[in-house]
Structure 1
Amino acid sequence: MGTRTQSLEHEENSMKRIGIIGSGSIGAAVARLAVAADWEVLIANSRGPASLSGLIEELGPLARAGEVQEAVEFGDIPVLAVPLAAYPKLPQATFTGRTVLSTGNYYPHRDGRIEQLDTLATTTAEYEQALLPEARIVKAFNSILFTHIPNLANSTPRTALPIAGDDDAAKAGVSELVNALGFDTVDAGTLAESWRFEPESGAYTQIYVADLDAFRADYLSDPGAPLPADQLRTLLEKSTRADVAAREF
């Protein structure tokens, strides 16, 4: 009985912990959601724990800084919010067998031109999976503006985010995590189908905009508008694939 109780306590504790690799706008936004939901958070970046002192002070006692390997191992599902160029520098072995929530997108001005993405031979998510072959990549939080994340978490009606992955159990785990952070999810299919909510597709960031004209004038000032799951599902079905080779931002 004692062993079973300890096991349940371990499961409960692990469900309330999340490691985040990347302290940019999306990583920090997810960290704020986690703290608001009373989760323990461990954040890591390429510059080391000392560079995170300001963010950790803002987040409060539930958050701390650490190394990348610590963040991967801290909870059940690490959040990976780093540029594509950072993937080869990650501790590959630490990701073995793990479900990973990836928030990344392909931005040529930052990532350089990547031929297999430009030619549509692969999606960004498939490319990430190839870079972390022993992990189970699930895409989420890559189709919503970082400023809309806090505004639309736990909205009424509840806002939905698309997810995609090749492993059903991994997608279920990420869906539970996203739900705990304040959003519904819509299964957009496999990693090969994740183009439906890549940049410039029909289900990218502007679907969460409150006022499109105001957004175009000053995107940071837009408060966002709730997008229920049924509406997101329709947008995903109608989405068209972007001309990635023409992408510049």
Structure 2
Amino acid sequence: MRIGVVGAGHIGGTAAKLFARAGHQVAVSNSRGPATLASLVSSIGTNAKAVSTVEAVKFGEAILLALPYRKMDALPPGESFAGKIVIDATNPYSATGGVMNLGESTSSEEVAKRMPGARLVKAFNTMGWNTLASGARPAHEERLVVFIAGDDAASKATVAKLIDEIGFASIDTGSLREGGHRQQPGSRIYGRPMTVREAKQILG
């Protein structure tokens, strides 16, 4: 699969490495331009290239959003994402570090409003980058969990397959509304590495 990664910080850079090592073609971008990504791309290997954000979105069949939520306005026009699977790893933190008040909505629902026609899946937002970097395990009950939420079953299945390929288990927390709330900062599953067994006990 061709995967565009928007945001090459800890989560974006780590996920890009894992996707590439699993055999996927990865195009990585950040706000500072491709020239600043030479070291990251070199460490990933032949399955990765550095591009502009516009090019990353155009390249990807799936797009990983790993930029700060408050910088969504810097993304290409929403129609650029139409028909693509958008994996939203963002969290609604303000510039001061507080969690934004979105009312009854969730951050991923707000992202989806910006991208009509995109198939949005919330994933990779509850796990710390260091756990993502070192926590991959063979398939068994003690695998660590990447939670996913979304309104499109086929897109969630595709993202679940990607998660499996990089060495983690996935658990579906529901729709963008229901699952989005379950995965928001401050929830019982946020920021805490857990196995499938532990996650099922918490979620019930």
The two structures have a TM-score, normalised by structure 1, of 0.74
Q: Distance in 2 between matches of 1:161 and 1:113?
A: 21
Partner of 1:123: 106
Partner of 1:163: 148
Letter in 2 for 1:107: Y
The structure-2 alpha-carbon separation of the partners of 1:133 and 1:183, relative to structure 1 and needing over 3 Å to count, comes to same
Give 1:184's match in structure 2, choosing from 146, 157, 169: 169
Q: Deviations over 1:62-101 (max 9, x none)?
A: 2210111221232321111112232222222210121101
Letter in 2 for 1:146: W
- Cα offset, 1:47, TM superposition: 1.4
Q: Deviations over 1:4-38 (max 9, x none)?
A: xxxxxxxxxxx2x3211110110011012123223
Give 1:71's match in structure 2, choosing from 36, 56, 65: 56
Q: Structure 1 or 2: larger strand share?
A: 2
Contact 2:79-2:116 within 8 A present in 1 as well: no
The structure-2 alpha-carbon separation of the partners of 1:54 and 1:228, relative to structure 1 and needing over 3 Å to count, comes to same
Is 2:140 the counterpart of 1:173?
no
Partner of 2:200: 233
Q: Which runs of 5+ in 2 are unaligned?
A: none
Q: Distance in 2 between matches of 1:111 and 1:150?
A: 24
Q: Structure 1 or 2: larger helix share?
A: 1
Letter in 1 for 2:15: V
Q: Distance in 2 between matches of 1:126 and 1:111?
A: 21
Structure-to-structure mapping, 1:123-162, within 5 angstroms: 123-155=106-138, 157-162=142-147
- Cα offset, 1:229, TM superposition: 2.2
Contact 1:85-1:111 within 8 A present in 2 as well: no
Comparing 141-150 with 177-186, greater Cα deviation is found at: 177-186
Partner of 2:79: 93
Q: Distance in 2 between matches of 1:162 and 1:96?
A: 24
- Cα offset, 1:60, TM superposition: 2.2
Contact 1:84-1:111 within 8 A present in 2 as well: no
CA RMSD of aligned residues (A): 2.0
SS class of match (2:160): helix
Partner of 1:215: none
Contact 1:197-1:236 within 8 A present in 2 as well: no
Q: Deviations over 1:196-231 (max 9, x none)?
A: 12211100112x1xxxxxxxxxxxxxxxxxx33232
Contact 1:88-1:131 within 8 A present in 2 as well: no
Contact 2:87-2:120 within 8 A present in 1 as well: yes
The two structures have a TM-score, normalised by structure 2, of 0.89
Q: Percent identity?
A: 37
The structure-2 alpha-carbon separation of the partners of 1:114 and 1:160, relative to structure 1 and needing over 3 Å to count, comes to closer
Partner of 1:108: 94
The structure-2 alpha-carbon separation of the partners of 1:26 and 1:113, relative to structure 1 and needing over 3 Å to count, comes to closer
Bigger Rg over Cα: 1
Partner of 1:56: 41
Q: Which runs of 5+ in 1 are unaligned?
A: 1-14, 209-226, 238-249
